[in-house]
Amino acid sequence: MAPQLSDFSGIIPHEYSQQIIDEVEQRSAVLQLAQVMPMGTRITELPVTGKLPAAQWVTGANAPPAGAGRKPYTDLTLKPQIITAEEIAAVVAIPQQYLDDNTINLWNWARPKMAEAIAVRLDETVLFGGAGIPASFPVGGVCGPLYSMGVGGGGAQNPITNPFPTAIDAVDAVNNGMSYVEGQGLNVTGHSADIGSKGRFRGVRDQTGALLLGTEQVGSSTRPTLYGEPIAYSQYAGNPPNTGLVSFITGAWDYLVIGVREDIRFRIDPSGTIADDDGKVLVSGFQDNVVPCKIWARFGCTIIKPVTPRVPAGAIPFAKTNLLALAAPAGGGMLAGHPHPSVATNHPHGPVTAADDEGTGRSGKK
């Protein structure tokens, strides 16, 4: 028998709690790309490298065989970075008639809606910051000037020299963003993009014929890739904290750390009320013949600016741009004059198989 919604008041049983966590992850670009860590307590300290050691040759008077071979001293320091689990919640009112109707599986109906609500707000907060977010979360999110560089004219620029201020098209902008992160001494581990950006790459190929948009197998699921790195799509262009300025983020996502408390809670109360911020009652469960339903969970977030040999003061781990404001690469074979001449397009300007349309190729890989 399918579980009824009323079976889940209090702490959701582990198997159903895991269903919500899995669905939040599937819908959240942040949880797909970031380093996710379980949190056993509300506040956790992460040890982060504060200074890298430097090796030196043993020379001069210390050099053997004449000297004693005394080795030079260097520093290797750690500093704590705090991550705090903050509560995210939603309250809705479910009509009593739905609860009374045994033909409706309310769990299957409510679960993806609740998961989507959490995923949308988590992505919005972590990527862009904005108003009404916890004080412990990074100011401005991933797209804040402390953690990302705008390239190709997309997004606000940092108060430092931008080596890639323009881009001729979407492919050039992506390459510039990846190049910036790599120039900080970091490896790009993935991309996040607004779902509207897919059209900028669909059908674009490298010189081997492989589509830039590919796929990779992760466990039992398949996820898309761009330039061989995973890409997670979300509908964040135009969200209030973003206002459409950024539609693509690339970077070293290992340095975005999301803490997750595993106890997702859920409660229904037929006699409960729902009030606004001023205390005005909006819904009365008893009077309006509805059942208030509440779900809440806890997530923490921190962004590490890693020290690297190139940027010992702390690297900027992300780059951002607005692909929706840039043209897709022009069609017609090899792109004459393109800064990446290995890129070509032949879709929809040429024959493409069904398998190709599904994006089974990977950049430079088979």
- Judged against a pLDDT cut of 70, whether residue 285 lies above it is answered with yes
- Judged against a pLDDT cut of 60, whether residue 169 lies above it is answered with yes
Neighbours of 107 (CB within 10 A): 16
Per-chain mean pLDDT for the chain:
78
Average pLDDT over residues 146-150: 92
- Judged against a pLDDT cut of 70, whether residue 198 lies above it is answered with yes
- Judged against a pLDDT cut of 80, whether residue 66 lies above it is answered with no
- Judged against a pLDDT cut of 80, whether residue 59 lies above it is answered with no
Average pLDDT over residues 196-201: 85
Cα-Cα-Cα-Cα dihedral sign, residues 144, 323, 176, 174: positive
Candidate from 11-15, 174-178, 238-242 with smallest mean pLDDT: 11-15
Specify the amino acid at residue 213.
L
Per-residue pLDDT reduced to its tens digit, 94-140: 888 877 776 667 667 777 787 788 888 899 999 998 888 999 999 99
DSSP classification of residue 180: H
Average pLDDT over residues 257-267: 80
How high is the pLDDT of residue 41? Answer: 86
**Which one is predicted more confidently, 229 or 242?**
229
DSSP classification of residue 280: -
> What stretch of H or E contains 82?
strand 77-84
Contact yes or no for 121/115 (Cβ under 8 A): no
Pairing between strand 213-218 and 221-226?
antiparallel
How high is the pLDDT of residue 67? Answer: 66
Average pLDDT over residues 232-258: 82
Domain boundaries, the chain: 9-50+80-267+294-357
**Which one is predicted more confidently, 338 or 121?**
121
Peptide bond into 165 cis (omega under 30): no
Average pLDDT over residues 229-246: 76
- Judged against a pLDDT cut of 70, whether residue 11 lies above it is answered with no
Q: What percent of the chain has pLDDT over 70?
A: 75
Average pLDDT over residues 173-198: 93
How high is the pLDDT of residue 344? Answer: 52
Tokens of 39: 């949190």
